Chains A and B, each alone.
Chain A
Amino acid sequence: MDVEANTDENDVTRGEVEQVERALIDASTRVPVLMFYSSAVVWLLIGTLLAGLTSFKMHMPDLLGGVSFLTWGRIRPAHMNAMVYGWASMAGIGTSIWLMARLSRTTLRHPLLLVTGAAFWNLGVLLGLGGILGGDSTGHQWLEFPPYAALVLFIAYSLVVSWAVLMFRFRRGGHIYITQWYLLGAFLWFPWLYGATQIMLFVAPVQGVMQAAVTWWFANNLLFLWFGAVGLGTAYYMIPKVIGRPVYSYHLAAIGFWTYAFFASWTGMQRLVDGPFPAWMITASIAATILTIIPVATVGLNHHMTMRGHFGLMRYSPTLRFTVFGAIAYTIFSLLGVLISLRSVARYVQFTQASVAYSHLGLYAFFTMVMFGSMYYIVPRLVGREWRYASLIKLHFWASAYGVMLMVLMLLVGGLVQGRDMNNTALSFVESTQSILSYLRGRSLSGMLLTVAHFVFAFHFGMMLFGLGRTASVPTFLNPQTEDLTHAKL
């Protein structure tokens, strides 16, 4: 009896200590993570408005055509860069800081430096967007920020990444969780991608068509090695944590990570099929893209087997429903990437809206949905309050899910029609663009759904930020079990 009592007592003590530790870690990350998140949400709204204008201009080209900084050639790159560097990167960094602190079991020291990093990052994005809208774009996809803005971004990134690496270095406990592999990989891959590309395009520029090769290598790998790694790392934490079940196979996760790291960095050139490049460059990228099926299959299998028997919990957890949606979208995104990289398919779709569908599938359906899921999990733990309205969470989820699915469908089908018509020598180029007008209108409709989703989320997030979330202890008010218990007592 004494032994049992001691054991119980030790368990309680250990549990309490862990709870206090967790609270301290969350408190130390509160200011920087919330700063990254709130900045990300503001950029999300700006990017959404720019996206709406970009989309409408595709089928209403005269819309605001007289305003120079609102011409299509400026607002499209402004929209993409606002989403890539403003929303997605800042949300990803915020989630990464919190995950790294939790997994390293260490409090964040000198959080003010991370706040400075966030401020610099915002300044970089602001300068960049101003430069693009002012006509100072570089013209390279996803690298349109003028060099002065890129430099500010790089300084901001250095401040952030040094802290993440230091946190990992001074972690407690010998175990390294899969999420930490992915996050650490992402933190090292991003400066490699961004730095190398900046040097090869602007500092010591390569000549001629090689610039296109560098640009596509960057754009593709930003999706895979930066957003992909942060998104997968987050999913590997959120899914097991929410359902309370360890990931199905750690070995499978290891295989997935290393094959991903090895094959993904070879991709990019498949976007230049039939371009003026040595055939081996494009073939190597196509082969690498096909080989990414290995990490995709292992990650997909691991997530599926972990979730098996627990899919019903998606009803109760906003984190889980967004994350699982994102994880499924990752598999579809990767398989679509393999399909459109094949020469026979690429010849039809590479200069069409299908390419835009692919980007939206990766950056939105996969990455953004996983980020929404992580924010639903992390924000209540930082502000000490629960999300106020379940109905707003549902509205956000369904508007996002239907919006992005409709958008991808419209762009994919429209891309196939466009590709068919562009390859039809009997039709002029103008006719091939006219044939997809109805699909572009459908895309604008889906964009309106996404706009609703983003404004709903921003409103709900703002409530949390200003302390208007619901006060809750354990279990939270929305938990159906609470209701059941109440009825049972009555």
Chain B
Amino acid sequence: MNLAELLIRMRRYDRNAEVIFDAQEPVGRATDLVMPRRGWWRRGKYLSAKAAGVPRGLDQATNH
């Protein structure tokens, strides 16, 4: 096995890290984001996602 084959094999092996994702919950889509951005002392006020520094993609969050 030459170096190129080894690198290809290693890259393929690294793709195993993606098996927990699928079409419904793809890479890049966060899940389980169920908590509000709400401080202990400002109970009625929700901060906007942008102000809270939420990365893009939060709007795609699912809970399946």
Main SS class of interface, A: helix
Closest to A478 in B: B34
Report A172-195 CB contacts with B as 1/0, cut-off 8 Å: 010111110000000000000000
- Residues on A with beta carbons closer than 8 Å to the beta carbon of B30: 242-244, 313, 317
- Residues on B with beta carbons closer than 8 Å to the beta carbon of A179: 20
**Closest CB of chain B to A23's CB: distance in Å?**
8
Check if A257 is an interface residue, CB within 8 A of chain B. no
Report B5-44 CB contacts with A as 1/0, cut-off 8 Å: 0000010011111111111111111111111111010000
Check if A479 is an interface residue, CB within 8 A of chain B. yes
- Residues on B with beta carbons closer than 8 Å to the beta carbon of A393: 35
- Residues on B with beta carbons closer than 8 Å to the beta carbon of A476: 34, 63
Judging by beta carbons under 8 Å apart, are B63 and A175 in contact? no
Of the candidates B19, B26, B58, B64, the one whose C-beta lies within 8 Å of that of A474 is B64
- Residues on A with beta carbons closer than 8 Å to the beta carbon of B20: 103, 177, 179, 237, 240-241, 246
Closest to A175 in B: B19
Of the candidates A14, A244, A247, A386, the one whose C-beta lies within 8 Å of that of B63 is A386
**Closest CB of chain B to A449's CB: distance in Å?**
16
Report A457-490 CB contacts with B as 1/0, cut-off 8 Å: 0000000000000001011101111011000000
- Residues on A with beta carbons closer than 8 Å to the beta carbon of B58: 313, 316, 481
Interface size band for A: 35 or more
Residues of B participating in the A interface, judged by any CB pair closer than 8 Å: 10, 13-38, 40, 46-49, 52-55, 57-59, 61-64
Residues of A participating in the B interface, judged by any CB pair closer than 8 Å: 11, 14-15, 18-19, 22, 103, 173, 175-179, 237, 240-247, 249-251, 253, 309-310, 312-313, 315-320, 376-377, 380-381, 386-387, 390, 393-394, 472, 474-476, 478-481, 483-484
Write 16 A-B pairs (CB below 8 A) sorted by A numbering.
A15-B22, A18-B22, A103-B20, A177-B17, A177-B19, A177-B20, A240-B17, A241-B32, A243-B30, A253-B17, A315-B35, A316-B34, A317-B32, A474-B62, A481-B58, A483-B46
